[in-house]
Structure 1
Amino acid sequence: MSESRMRVTDKVKEVAREDFDLAKKLTQDAIRSAAYLYPFKGIVYFFNHRTLWKPLAEKLVPTMSLGLGVTVAMFAVTYVPQAALLSIFNGPLAIFTTILLVLSEASTLFSVLSKNFIISDTLTDTFDGTLLSRNMTSLVSTERQVKSGSDPIGKLGKLVTKPFAKFAPSAIIRYFIYLPLNFIPVFGTVLFVFLQGRRFGPTAHARYFQLKQMKKQQKEEFIEKHKAAYTSFGVPAVLLELVPVLGILFSFTNTVGAALWAADMEEGSESQSGEGSTTAPNLRHQAELTKNKREL
């Protein structure tokens, strides 16, 4: 009996050690990637490049009105009952954890409504415009027409293909699955934000995957390879978008940050390969065929 218990104990220790080593590696990868800095780089870059303000300015009034209305309504309707419920589990901390919970709920609802019905196209323009400001013309031109000029937003032409959907029903389903974590004092709320951030990271690069013309398997492999970095980007990005009303502004700055990260990835892969990696593989192949025909 004692030997059996020892084997179980050893197995538990082995599993715990493996999980700890994995968590340690992911943390190290996240720190090395410095992806957590890009939401803040996006804020600085956005305010230093006024041409990128145009998409936001066009939708500012309706989105701010929607954000304010959703936040006020959520606090008026859901704060008291949720605070009463959370006080059973969190005690005095329920005052603060409920605020974060309601902000998260309001942010999720606002994100669904705004990104699907108001600012979907403008976020795409912001992402592409940021790439153009970083001289990523060949990358952007894989999926839309690019005009001449010095204004990155003004250079944006007609879309070749419709951008990927920014919201899927699975996101809401996962949100409500994770929601009960807030009943766990402090740690549960932190874990809830972490899980939301892990989902947010790859979503922020949906347009990048499309511009790179990645197939589903390629995208999944890329996300898996950079999952620590995407989580470290997603957590501060989610927290920024939780800010009442101003969350819409941070939706745009997060988009700028994601585009800056994509541009840095492209420049990094280009320097490693020694060739123009910003050109999608299909376009490079077509260029090579054209060159061969001319030589013949």
Structure 2
Amino acid sequence: MVDSPASYPFKGIKFFFSHWTLIRRILLALFLTLIVAIFIIGLTFGFLLPLQVALFTAMLIPPPFSIILAVIACVLESAIFIVIFNLIATPFWQDALYDDVLKLKGLGSLLEGPSNVSEVTLFCPYCYINGWPLAWSQQIHYQIDIKGLSVREARHLAWKDRKDYTRFGTVSVFLQLFPGLNLLFIWTNIVGAALWTSDIILEERKRVVDEVERSIPYSPSENMESSAITATTTKNYGATDNNA
């Protein structure tokens, strides 16, 4: 059963803490970030600090001030390198977390495919306006990398169901604005997005099975009922629809 899109960010929180596989994935990411940060800081202070002290001294800056400036420069350089590492690594970790949820929902076979604001008056519009882009960004991995859609096709599907995408994204943006907790909710929103896609796919598969069961044995009344069911449109948000 596919629930309201607005509920999936909260379901993502519950699902995240209910599965050690997902928690372990984030702990590993944090551990790697810590190791990289220690390495960068050690390299910066061990190698660049003496060079920068010599550089500032050559610029006729007295030793006490040259050392202070060199330390400040090393701190800033370390921070920049760490931020760059996170900007590069985080999208890969988010994709891996999304894939883990699909596997836990019994949809691991999909991964084997060929393609493989303080004021309330400003706060609410901010969440709403950024809701659809955020929701689509969290489904791009499935639509393009897993399902093999083009960017244009993925955008068309997301825009076609923009109301549900906006509902999901608005809640996700709202959660990510909580100070301190936003670092957690960034990850649980990914889990919620994967849960949403999983429920859509499973619901679609169940609907197809029900249609097959209704069509056997064949009878005029059952055939009419099956045709009516087939004619019923099902929102799949790009999970199963290949048409742009």
TM range (shorter): 0.5 to 0.7
The equivalent of 2:99 in structure 1 is 128
Deviation at 1:33?
Answer: 5.9
SS at match of 2:159: helix
8 Å CA contact 1:212–1:280 kept in 2: the answer is no
- In the alignment, is residue 234 of structure 1 matched against residue 155 of structure 2? no
Residues 114 and 192 of structure 1: CA distance in aligned 2, closer, same or farther (over 3 Å):
farther
Deviation at 1:114?
Answer: 7.5
The equivalent of 1:78 in structure 2 is none
What RMSD, in angstroms, separates the aligned Cα atoms of the two structures?
Answer: 3.1
**Structure 2 spans left out of the alignment, 5+ residues:** 38-82, 212-235
- In the alignment, is residue 55 of structure 1 matched against residue 25 of structure 2? yes
Residues 273 and 218 of structure 1: CA distance in aligned 2, closer, same or farther (over 3 Å):
farther
Q: Give the one of 145, 148, 158 matched to 1:223.
A: 158
SS at match of 1:119: helix
Q: How does 1:140-219 map to 2 (within 5 A)?
A: 140-142=111-113, 186-210=120-144, 211-219=146-154
The equivalent of 1:254 in structure 2 is 189
The equivalent of 1:74 in structure 2 is none
The equivalent of 2:67 in structure 1 is none
Residues 126 and 263 of structure 1: CA distance in aligned 2, closer, same or farther (over 3 Å):
same
Residues 232 and 114 of structure 1: CA distance in aligned 2, closer, same or farther (over 3 Å):
farther
Deviation at 1:261?
Answer: 0.5
Deviation at 1:198?
Answer: 2.2
TM-score normalised to structure 2 length: 0.59
- Rounded Cα–Cα distance in structure 1 between residues aligned with 2:20 and 2:200: 24
The equivalent of 2:10 in structure 1 is 40
- Rounded Cα–Cα distance in structure 1 between residues aligned with 2:162 and 2:24: 32
Deviation at 1:115?
Answer: 6.0
- Report the count of equivalent residues: 165
Q: How does 1:11-160 map to 2 (within 5 A)?
A: 34-60=4-30, 62=33, 116-142=87-113
Q: Give the one of 207, 222, 225 matched to 1:272.
A: 207
For each residue in 1:73-118, what CA deviation from the matched residue of structure 2 results, as whole angstroms up to 9, or x when unmatched?
A: xxxxxxxxxxxxxxxxxxxxxxxxxxxxxxxxxxxxxxx9686233
8 Å CA contact 2:6–2:168 kept in 1: the answer is yes
- Rounded Cα–Cα distance in structure 2 between residues aligned with 1:128 and 1:244: 27
TM-score normalised to structure 1 length: 0.49
Identity across aligned pairs (percent)? 27
8 Å CA contact 1:139–1:279 kept in 2: the answer is no
Deviation at 1:279?
Answer: 8.6
- Rounded Cα–Cα distance in structure 1 between residues aligned with 2:190 and 2:22: 11
8 Å CA contact 1:38–1:260 kept in 2: the answer is yes
Give the AA of the match of 2:8. Answer: Y
For each residue in 1:8-58, what CA deviation from the matched residue of structure 2 results, as whole angstroms up to 9, or x when unmatched?
A: xxxxxxxxxxxxxxxxxxxxxxxx960000000001011111111122101
**Structure 1 spans left out of the alignment, 5+ residues:** 1-31, 67-111, 144-159, 162-181, 282-296
